[in-house]
Structure 1
Amino acid sequence: MSDARALRGPQKAAVLMLALGEENSARLFARMHEDEIRDLSAAMAQLGTISASVVEAVCEEFSTHLGKAGHLIGSFESTERLLLKTLPRERVAQIMEEIRGPAGRTMWEKLGNVNETVLANYLKNEYPQTVAVVLTKVKPDHAARVLSILPDGFAMEVVMRMLRMENVQKEALEGVERTLKAEFMSNLARSTRRDAHEMMAEIFNGLDRQAESRILAALEERNLEAAERIRSLMFTFEDLRRLDPAGLQVLLRSVEKERLTLGLKGAAEDMRELFYRNMTERAGKLLREDIAALGPVRLKDVDEAQAAIVATAKDLAAQGQIQLSEGKDDMLVE
């Protein structure tokens, strides 16, 4: 191949992947969908010999387009518009549904990931026969939770139809699936889009403190309101002050001793005292000695230990074992 203008999109992508080398290409492949990997691999395998001038032209075209991009805003709408330029409308609709809707490749897998209360509130307005079909297609434990939320009389109608149900005709099943896609899943996707600030708060929680401070400071200069919103949604190691004594003691029992020691090594003295006060006198004394014996430690290691302790606290809260307050108004004063 000696003319870059003759290359189609997949072929240009294949040239770029080969030019990047095995290590960089592998990292990109790891972020792709199976269909994308298959299409791109096929294009790479069929390229043949590519002249150096073509490789250079493709790389230059890529860098030129990237340089022209300027300020970018990624959204569902911009993604859909881009896909519609290269893919059939039906395929785009399928891809966008997978992006927006609950996790799962098939409609029935997606329904299995929908909150049972949300699903029951939708199904209670459908025909009992339709609900019976749906509940036979999701996992039994999920079907049981949905059934328990439906009104008693309606639930019994559904149960009777499930008992009498034989093999559902393919056309009828496809009809139910189309209705669910068009009415329920599309509305659910629009109503459950994540708040961008909440998503960024989770990302910022995963940063080390130097990167967090640097990026938040830069964001404050560009958009103070957004920075403050993200900061208010973040849950950090310092926010463990909000735990009541009982919750803090549950956390102490759940965290590995070595991780607690390292995490508190980099904490403020009043934060350490908070933990000491919720331990026995002997355990607190031993922890003080362990911290003192550590000597100098890397800030990165401290950040990782504190992040792990926060993650444990969040897990315990999700299990209902401790209560994480939602903001400063809920903090306890001793």
Structure 2
Amino acid sequence: MSENNQDNDGKQLRRKIPRVEQAAILLMSLGESDAAEVLKHMGPKEVQRVGVAMAQMKDVSKEEVSYVMDEFVGAVGGQTGLGVGNDDYIRTMLTQALGDDKANSLIDRILIGGDTTGLDTLKWMEPRAVGDIIRYEHPQIQAIVISYLDPDQAAEILGTLDDKVRLDVMMRVSTLESIQPQAMRELNDILEKQFSGGSAAQTSRIGGVKRAADIMNFMDRSIEGGLMDSIKDMDPDLASTIEDLMFVFDNLVDIEDRGIQALLREVSSDVLVVALKGADDAVKDKIFRNMSKRAAELLQDDLEAKGPVKVSEVEAAQKDIITIARRMAEAGEITLGGAGEEMM
């Protein structure tokens, strides 16, 4: 992680700008129509992350805007005009991109296009809403839905279900390897009657032990611990396999140095400080070794100056970093070592 970003004149920026915030600044600098066109080509997770960054943005300096523009121009040779907005801008932009009904409620995360399948529709919804939809379905249907969705969303959905249901679903996810295309089409048909989706899904291989481990990675630690104990009681070998495939914060020590350096460029300093408050010395040493001497000294000073932090805050910060690491690994930008490498 560099100590500071610099603009094209070599001036030191007052803070490090995470990539997602750079994307938000760039979109805020486009006209509403152009920004809407960009959003049409993004998935639900990307729209949500960038949208949240835009909504939280304030006091963006000229140097920061200039830096982001130069980075973009240097990467793709593009050129934009500045048009800073606010909540009304964001609403107008999302409405143009998604349509009035679809953009009307951020809570629902409604689908963006007519070619979205019934199952894909669920990716645009809040986890609690999806939990309500599948709550009274057969556990095998619940397992298929949970396996199909992204692990972090699936983990949140499982968190809304009863303990016994959660255990049943996770056991089924772990042993689910494939589903007949016809069964997948029928499930999509049922969902599309509710969400006016489009073409049927072609996926036939879903679930499995790796998928179960991915989902467990994103669960709250209290829920994860209880669920893992229950799985151990039912099938100790399965529980051991899931644990071997899980990637946790301590596994950062297994990532190669170049991967750690790339990861640190994506993590804000505030999140890193909180995450390291509850980290083992081995993880801290790994982080410090992959920073410049000055940046490492500043981080150590911030850690010493930071007062007591709630365990829940530390876990949330560590989960944020794990999420970034997993996303980068899936994009081929880094390789997760140890158990994580096997999982990927």
Length-normalised TM-score, structure 2: 0.43
Q: Which structure has the greater CA radius of gyration?
A: 1
- Higher RCO structure, 1 or 2 (CA under 8 Å, sep 6+): 2
Q: Which has the higher helix share?
A: 1
